[in-house]
Amino acid sequence: MAAPRDGLVASPCISLCRMHAPTGWCEGCLRTITEIAAWGRLDDDGRRVVLQDLGPRRVTWQAMQAAGTAPPSTGPGGSP
């Protein structure tokens, strides 16, 4: 996760930027391209909303990996 600057909520980006076409999620941070593009314009509350959405996505991503329908990764949804 990128370090916050100026007191802003930190980005979940881990520099593993590759979009998974079936879900539309980044394989590294699990955000959508729309969320990634908007991140710099969001206030802290908006960023927290995006971060809250990542929890359920992480569960789905891990289930998809277990089923072999998503690639293994070192992102937040990936295997330890």
Give the tens place of pLDDT for each residue, 8-47: 899 999 999 999 999 999 999 999 999 999 999 999 999 9
Number of domains in the chain: 1
14 in a domain, yes or no?
no
Q: Give the tens place of pLDDT for each residue, 47-77.
A: 999 999 999 999 999 999 999 999 886 555 4
74 in a domain, yes or no?
no
57 in a domain, yes or no?
yes
75 in a domain, yes or no?
no
Q: What is the pTM of this model?
A: 0.80
13 in a domain, yes or no?
no
Range of the domain at 41: 19-68
User: Three-class SS string for 4-45?
Assistant: CCCCCCCCCCCCCCCEECCCCEECCCCCEHHHHHHHHHCCHH
52 in a domain, yes or no?
yes
Centroid of chain to Cα 25: 7
11 in a domain, yes or no?
no
